[in-house]
Amino acid sequence: MTFTPVTHPLLPTTAAPGQLSLVETQKALHLVDQLLAKRFCIFRNPIAHSMSPNIVQHRLQPSGPPALLVSYGRLETDQVDADVRSTLAHPDFGGVSVTIPLKRDIMSPLDELTPEAKAIGAVNTATPFTKAGGHRGLLGDNTDWIGTRNVVKAHLPQSLNEVNSCLVIGARGARAVIYALHALGAGRSTCSNALGRARKNSCTRSRTLPLSCSTRST
């Protein structure tokens, strides 16, 4: 067990007189330039209806970092343009949530990908990290498959010991879905979509994922 010399607003009393909370400590460090403010955002198009900024800001309060240290905004774009690259390169960049239509294009300015992002062939988050030698880099990850895996696993009948084959209806997000099904043991996943373009994309996915994937049109 690790003890830290901070208190928390939800505690009935402070552990010691004058003890600071984590938020107060971060504010103090920020005032003496020891802790830089971080900016997080979401890239997508369209973006007006996205609830991500509100959800994140709500989760940051009251126990998380103070608002003056963390901001979460929106950047509406359908391409990795100068604004995107400028946001990623800025010293206060803390991370980004990436969704349609940039999950594949955003990979180009990143320095490294997690094994999951490489296998899926798409990225939904990018965060800065420190490379060997102390230089700053950008790491791309894909967490979509984790949500899919957890939901499917939670709703599987208890009598079902393993997943052998699956049907994926729709092509959007199918890369991560197929990867999640593969993680659950599925040896074959069939993607079904009425659009010819979706059928073509689904066939391509089978060459980037570690499993066999066939398609069916509806």
Q: What per-residue confidence (pLDDT) applies to 208? A: 43
Q: 99-138 pLDDT, tens per residue?
A: 888 999 999 999 999 999 999 999 999 999 999 888 999 9
For residue 122, the SS3 value is coil
Tokens at residue 57, please? Answer: 């800001």
Those residues with Cβ within 8 angstroms of residue 208's Cβ, 6 or more apart along the chain or in another chain: 119, 120, 121, 175
Out of 30-34, 43-47, 190-194, pick the least confident. 190-194
Rg (CA), the chain: 21
Q: Is the pLDDT confidence value at 210 over 50?
A: no
Strands 70-76 and 38-44, bridge-based pairing = parallel
Q: Euclidean distance between the first and final Cα of the chain, in Å?
A: 56
144 touches 152 (CB < 8 A): no
Out of 109-113, 176-180, 203-207, pick the least confident. 203-207
Alpha helices, H only, the chain: 22-31, 52-60, 82-89, 115-120, 144-155, 174-183, 196-205
Known active-site residue 144: yes
For residue 93, the SS3 value is strand
- The highest-confidence range among 2-11, 51-60, 181-190, by mean pLDDT, is 181-190
Domain 23-57+66-142 and domain 145-216, same fold? Reply is yes
Percent of the chain with pLDDT over 70: 79
Of the residues 92, 131, 144, 200, only one is catalytic, namely: 144
Of the residues 103, 105, 118, 141, only one is catalytic, namely: 103
User: Largest alpha-carbon pair distance within the chain?
Assistant: 68
Return the CATH superfamily for domain 23-57+66-142: Leucine Dehydrogenase, chain A, domain 1 (3.40.50.10860)
3 vs 29: CA distance, rounded Å: 20
The ranges assigned to domains in the chain are 23-57+66-142, 145-216
The secondary structure of residue 78, as a DSSP letter, is: S
Those residues with Cβ within 8 angstroms of residue 27's Cβ, 6 or more apart along the chain or in another chain: 66, 68, 69
Q: What per-residue confidence (pLDDT) applies to 82? A: 94
Q: What's the gap between Cα 10 and its chain centre?
A: 29
Q: Is the pLDDT confidence value at 211 over 50?
A: no
Tokens at residue 139, please? Answer: 């790491």
Known active-site residue 141: no
Q: Is the pLDDT confidence value at 140 over 70?
A: yes
Tokens at residue 116, please? Answer: 């999951």
The secondary structure of residue 160, as a DSSP letter, is: -
Computed over every residue of the chain, the mean pLDDT equals: 79
Tokens at residue 73, please? Answer: 């905004």
Question: Which residue is it, tokens 């800065």?
Answer: 128
Count of helix runs (H) and strand runs (E) in the chain: 7, 9
Mean pLDDT over 152-166 rounds to: 82
Question: What residues does 125 pair with on adjacent strands?
Answer: 97, 141
CATH 3.40.50.150 is held by the domain 145-216: no
